[in-house]
Chain A
Amino acid sequence: MNVDVLEDERHHRFVLNMGPQHPSTHGVLRVLLELEGEYAMSLQPVLGYGHRCHEKIAEYKPAKSFMPNTARMDYLGALIYNHGYAQLLEKATGIEAPQRAEYIRVITSELNRIQSHLLWYGAYLLDLGAFTPIMYSFDDREHILDILEDVTGSRLTYCYYRVGGVCRDIDDKFIAGTRQFIDRLRSRFPMYEDLVNGNVILQNRLNGIGDLTPQTCARYGVTGPLLRGTGVAYDMRRAEPYSVYPEFDFEIPTETKGDCMASFLVRFREMEQSLRIIEQALDRLPEGPIMAAKVPKKLKIPAGDYNSSVEAPRGELSYYLVADGSDTPYRLKVRTPSYSNLSVVSEQCAGMLLSDVVSAMGSLDLVIPEIDR
């Protein structure tokens, strides 16, 4: 902890360096806080500690082989990052994934989303000083990792989708395991409600903290559960429907207050909606191939620019590809949700109590590697 006393009439104001190695930043994020007593008067995030030049790498290898890199940007929503990228190249080259593959993508993506929300749930409460809930949410999360490991071969940084489909079919064991998990998680929700959501300490820590409005969200490009907590039902799965999402019946949970409690409740209720999607997809899972019949080995992308947006656990993920007709992207830009979501904290947290800054930053559900890329 570096404490730097300012030598002027504001001598009671000092700069506190939070991070880059700080448990509540969930990764190598550094935040420069200017404190007056316990109040954070200004707050400046410092990025780049985990920058790995993903966009530069993309310009140096065939577009298809960039798939594993996508998973390493957001390690909690890896399959959804796969999904956005596969879809981008499919759009650009006119390849269509078969129906069964799209269903498998939706099922595994939604499992991935629940897994991300469960980790956020435990870690957020841990930030706020509640140690027990992470034990329960990790227990549930392990089941998803086991299910996904069986079919994808990895537990975190998946590379399961391909241009034109998925690389392995799901089997009866996967289906039975997933159904079992749905029942299990549903039976746990009341326990979470009793243990955590109604807790008066949590209420006091989250209610009225970190107000966001739809206008602020528009100015900063804030999306995802934070935006839905301000009453805007904006979810890429509905706003710009992709894959087979239009075929399913699910709701977009919203709250109106825009504070930490609102995004907390939105995320919590999203898990149930994801379960509903998985359930319907399993019921209607079509038979058939899991890969498009003809995917050229060397994938030439016609000149032009292409955009593909999907709903990641933290908000809108967009890939923007500029192609020059070869099989290597001329430029690939990844718009990651946490980047825009974090940029709002300077405005959102100015003048807050330090303990509330932790509440507000935790409610952003930050994944630093996707910010730094």
Chain B
Amino acid sequence: MDVKNVVQQWQNMATSVEEVDYSVSGYDYSVCLEGEKLSAFAGLMLNEGFYLVDLMAVHVEPAIEVVYQFAHFKTRCRVMARAFVDGKGEIPTISDIYQGANWHERETRDFHGVVFTGHPNLEPLILAEEDVDLKPLLKDEKKLKGVAAVRRVQPEPEAAKPEAVKSPEQS
């Protein structure tokens, strides 16, 4: 897998692609997507040999954010892809591409009430059938925060430094 080439392809379909400091965050790339691009993105990831590590939701303002974690068997390249659910709380499924997403999506439906359109069987998985409307991981108003509050604050760029050339470790 050629990482540069893959990053290029992400940039074509994503709203933003950001390289992240692995030593602090524990992953390499953060990719923000529109919901409708998810299928194409998942197809690309499978073609490039990525496996689906995890799928989860984070309840923030203005909408629930669904986070897809991918990693690669051969090269260290851990990716967090993010997409917001639409106004109706829906987002397309990727379980037709990554079958492992089937259970993760059912679990996310249980905990956050996210509806994955096109999912073959969106029945409760972890919770009991009578708790289908419980959505236990949704935040109440007091605890709910805006998406900016849970994003990393970039440290001030050290503009005062005289040398503009990057050291090899940084590049």
Residues of A within 8 A of B (CB): 47-48, 51, 53, 55-56, 59, 88, 91-92, 94, 214, 217-223, 227, 232, 234, 239-240, 302-309, 316, 318, 320, 322-325, 330-331, 333, 335, 339-340, 343-344, 347, 372-373
Give the chain B neighbours of A55 by CB distance below 8 A. 111, 137
A222 and B73 alpha carbons, distance in the complex (Å): 11
A94–B51 Cα distance when bound, in Å, is: 29
Pick from B33-41, B52-60, B157-165 the stretch touching chain A.
B52-60
Q: Is the CB of B145 within 8 A of A324?
A: yes
Can you list 23 A-B pairs, Cβ within 8 angstroms, ordered by A?
A91-B25, A217-B51, A218-B51, A219-B52, A220-B52, A302-B152, A302-B153, A303-B149, A304-B150, A305-B25, A305-B150, A305-B152, A306-B25, A307-B26, A309-B71, A320-B69, A330-B145, A333-B54, A333-B67, A335-B69, A340-B103, A347-B99, A372-B126
Seed contacts A219-B51, A309-B53; 17 additional CB < 8 Å A-B pairs: A47-B103, A48-B127, A51-B126, A59-B143, A217-B51, A218-B73, A219-B100, A221-B54, A232-B73, A307-B26, A307-B80, A309-B78, A318-B53, A324-B145, A331-B59, A333-B56, A372-B126
The reply to whether A307 and B27 form a contact with Cβ atoms under 8 Å apart is yes
Across the interface, do A221 and B153 meet the contact criterion of CB distance under 8 Å? no
Which residues on B sit within 8 Å (CB–CB) of A223? 51
CB distance A343 to B25 under 8 Å? no
Q: Return B50 CB to nearest CB of chain A, in Å.
A: 7
Known: A307-B27, A316-B53, A320-B69. A56 touches B149 (CB 8 A): no
Contacts of A320 in B (CB 8 A): 54, 56, 67, 69
Contact status A330-B54, CB under 8 Å: no
Report whether A307 and B99 are in contact in the complex, using a CB–CB cutoff of 8 Å.
no
Which B114-130 residues have a C-beta within 8 angstroms of A? 124-128
B148 nearest CB neighbor, chain A only: A303
Is B49 an interface position by the 8 A CB rule? yes
Q: Are A240 and B53 in contact, with the CB atoms below 8 A? A: no
Using a CB-CB cutoff of 8 Å, which residues 89-123 of chain B contact chain A?
97-100, 102-103, 111
Tell me, yes or no, whether B166 is within 8 Å of chain A by CB. Answer: no
Q: Whose C-beta in chain B lies nearest to the C-beta of A347?
A: B99
Smallest CB gap from A328: residue in B: B143
Contacts of B127 in A (CB 8 A): 48, 51
Name the residue on B nearest A344 (C-beta): B100
In the docked arrangement, what's the CA distance between A330 and B150, Å? Answer: 8
- If over half of A's interface residues share one DSSP class (helix, strand or loop), that class is named, otherwise mixed; here it is mixed
User: In whole angstroms, what is the CA distance A309 to B79 when docked?
Assistant: 13
Complex contact A56–B137 (CB within 8 A): yes
- Interchain nearest-CB distance for A241 vs B (Å): 9
Q: A307-B80, A309-B26 are in contact. Are A340 and B73 (CB under 8 A)?
A: no
Q: In angstroms, how far is the closest chain A Cβ from the Cβ of B67?
A: 7
- Residue in contact with A303 in the complex, picked from B58, B69, B76, B153, CB distance below 8 Å: B153
By beta carbon, the residue of chain B nearest A343 is: B103
Which single member of A48, A221, A302, A307 contacts B78 (CB below 8 Å)? A307
Q: Is B62 in contact with chain A by the CB < 8 A criterion?
A: no
**A324 adjacent to B26 (CB under 8 Å):** no
Nearest opposing residue in chain B for A316, CB measure: B53
Q: Decide yes or no whether B46 CB sits under 8 A from chain A.
A: yes
Please tell me if B151 contacts chain A, counting CB pairs below 8 Å.
yes
Closest residue of B by beta carbon distance from A217: B51
Could you tell me the distance between the alpha carbons of A333 and B27 in the complex, rounded to whole angstroms? 15
A309 vs B78: C-alpha distance when bound (angstroms): 10
Write out the residue numbers on chain A whose beta carbons fall within 8 Å of the beta carbon of B151: 303-304
A234 to B49, CA, bound (A): 13
> Measured between alpha carbons, how far is A7 from B137 in the docked complex, in Å?
41
Instruction: Assess the B145–A343 pair: CB atoms within 8 A.
Output: no
A94–B155 Cα distance when bound, in Å, is 14
Residues of B within 8 A of A220 (CB): 52, 98-100
Per-residue CB contact flags for chain B residues 10-29 toward chain A (1 = under 8 Å, else 0) read 00000000000001111100
| Most chain B CB neighbours (cut-off 10 Å) among A88, A232, A308, A331 | A331
Q: Are A239 and B150 also in contact (CB < 8 A) when A306-B26, A320-B69 are? A: no
Given contacts A221-B52, A347-B99, contact A88 B26 (CB under 8 A): yes
Q: Is there contact, CB below 8 Å, between B26 and A304?
A: no
